[in-house]
Amino acid sequence: MLIMNQLSINSADWERLKIKLKRKYRDLTDSDLSYTPGSEQQLIEQLAKRIKRDTTYVTFTIQKELSQIDNNRL
């Protein structure tokens, strides 16, 4: 299992990542995507529950999108 401390999301990237996640998972609400820098673990657990996937999948998805943050693809 991936250690969640390895994931860090800054505020600027979060705004772009949030748009990508909303496009990929259309059922996510603003409430589902509420995030405070430093609370990555809470965000991952919340998203995992909401999209019915495990935390490893959510972490992988977020890391992938962050690595391609300038890319408009999902």
The per-residue pLDDT for range 51-62, each reduced to its tens digit, is: 999 999 999 999
pLDDT of residue 70: 86
Read off the pLDDT band of 6 (50, 70, 90). Answer: confident
pLDDT at residue 73 is higher than 80? no
Per-residue pLDDT band for 71 (boundaries 50, 70, 90) equals confident
* Contact residues for 28 (Cβ-Cβ < 8 A; gap 6+): 21, 22, 47, 50, 51
pLDDT digits (tens, 9 = 90+) for 19-51: 999 999 999 999 999 999 899 999 999 999 999
Short-list 56, 58, 54, 52, CA closest to 35: 58
CB atoms within 10 A of CB 6: 9
**Domain range summary for the chain, segments of one domain joined by +:** 4-67
How would you write 36-62 as a 3-class SS string?
CCCCHHHHHHHHHHHHCCCHHHHHHHH
